[in-house]
Amino acid sequence: MTLSGSANQNAHHPGAEGHSSRLQALKAHRPESPEVFDQGRCLQPGWLLRPRRGGDHEGIRLLMQRVYPPPHGPECVWSEAALDQHLRHFPNGQFVIQDDRGILRATSSTMRVNRERALAPHTWLEITGMGTLRTHEPGGEILYGVNIAVDPSFQGRGLGRTLYDSRFGLARSLGCTAFAAGARIPGFHRVAGWCTPEDYIRKVVAGELRDPTLSKQLALGFQVAGVLLDYAYDHETLGHAALIVKNL
């Protein structure tokens, strides 16, 4: 799925971005930085960022198994059918990064939605059409982050940033006005006994707490536009997410 986090920077349920959501307005301001978009860009010798192809399905599923080990369940790994649907509905919005041996080390999925739907309360399953992207709107003004995942052995090397920059560039090239996503808050379970999701996100925005995923996204220029309760369940976020938006 996508939520945007740690091993899965957008670790949203690929087999997961709950059934009832609530939105509350929050404000965060971070400086924007220029992005460069080049689908054939090399990251280091032999590494390549490129569009996803049909032949990548097995490699993506193996990657997702490394990103979402137990206690994450098998629903966190894209099915062959879902991956086929992604390429059917929005092939230009799917990226992978392969290493110098051709092994996939990172992947991301996006779709287009209208602004009203992107900023309204929603769950990952609702907005992504159960992960199939059948809810993709070709004329949608928002590019929505469905999933981003980086191989745990290669995190901290700029792969996630490369995927984000490429998606920002794609959004601009399509004429989208913003990029939005439901951002995982994997640090929430550590404070859930005394802190609500809303308070936790406020503290992260204010710099009082650091979240492994949301803090990095704020540094990329995202702003928190709300709280998505019951967005997509996992044992770290307890199902909750921050609605993040970056105006382009």
Around Cβ 219, how many Cβ atoms within 10 Å? Answer: 12
pLDDT band (50, 70, 90) for residue 15: very low
| Contact residues for 23 (Cβ-Cβ < 8 A; gap 6+) | 119, 120, 121, 225, 226, 227, 228, 243
Considering the entire predicted model, what is its pTM?
0.84
All domains of the chain, ordered by start, with CATH? 48-247 (3.40.630.30)
pLDDT, tens only, 206-215: 999 999 999 9
> 227 to each of 6, 167, 201, how far by Cα in Å?
19, 23, 8
Strand, coil or helix: 215? helix
Give me the mean pLDDT over the 174-191 stretch: 97
pLDDT, tens only, 25-65: 333 222 223 333 344 455 788 999 999 999 999 999 999 99
pLDDT of residue 74: 80
What is the per-residue burial (b if ≥16 Cβ within 10 Å, else e) of 162-190? bbbbbbbbbbeebebebbbbbbbbbbbee
pLDDT of residue 72: 76
